[in-house]
Amino acid sequence: MSFLPVNSVRNHLRFVKMYNEWCLSKNSSETNSSSPISELQKSVQDNRKSMKIGSIITKLKTGKKLAPAELEYLRVNPPDLYIKAVKISNEREAYEAALKKCKNKEDVERLHNQKRMQLKLELHCSDADETEMRMGQFHAAMRIYAIR
């Protein structure tokens, strides 16, 4: 606060009041100017979040298994996608167990065709993305089993 000559108490109080109003207006203008920055930071965070979720969805669609850290990320951020991912993972494990029990190549082909028909029937009554993720997981399991 600068020291200006004060002629009376009334003038001094008026000066203090004006100075306080000026400080308040200065602070409010500073917060308004930082608002676009915070909006930009929020936008960047949302973009990163959507990119991470998109990469996890792509990983599921291509038939890759999710890491525990990715499952934990899904559990916290979009819980509905986490439920789908766990469901698909459990189905894949059951499918792999059924493939291991097959005695010959014909049994493997029969099981694979049954699973494909089941997915095609469910395509009309369920989410297309979920069905695509399930298809990718089943084809990956089939490729892994065919290598063994």
Domain assignment of residue 109, yes or no: yes
In the chain, the percentage of residues whose pLDDT exceeds 90 is 14
> Domain total for the chain?
1
- Residue 89 forms part of a structural domain: yes
> What is the b/e burial string over 8-23, where b = at least 16 CB atoms within 10 angstroms of the residue's CB?
eeeeeeeeeeeeeeee
pLDDT in tens, 4-42: 555 677 777 777 788 878 777 776 655 555 567 778 788
Q: Residue 90 has what pLDDT?
A: 92
Find out whether 108 and 99 touch, Cβ atoms under 8 Å: yes
Render 101-139 in DSSP notation, one character per residue. H--SHHHHHHHHHHHHHHHHHHHTTS-HHHHHHHHHHHH
Where residue 147 falls among pLDDT bands split at 50, 70, 90? low
Is 51's pLDDT higher than 60?
Answer: yes
**Domain residues for 136?**
50-147
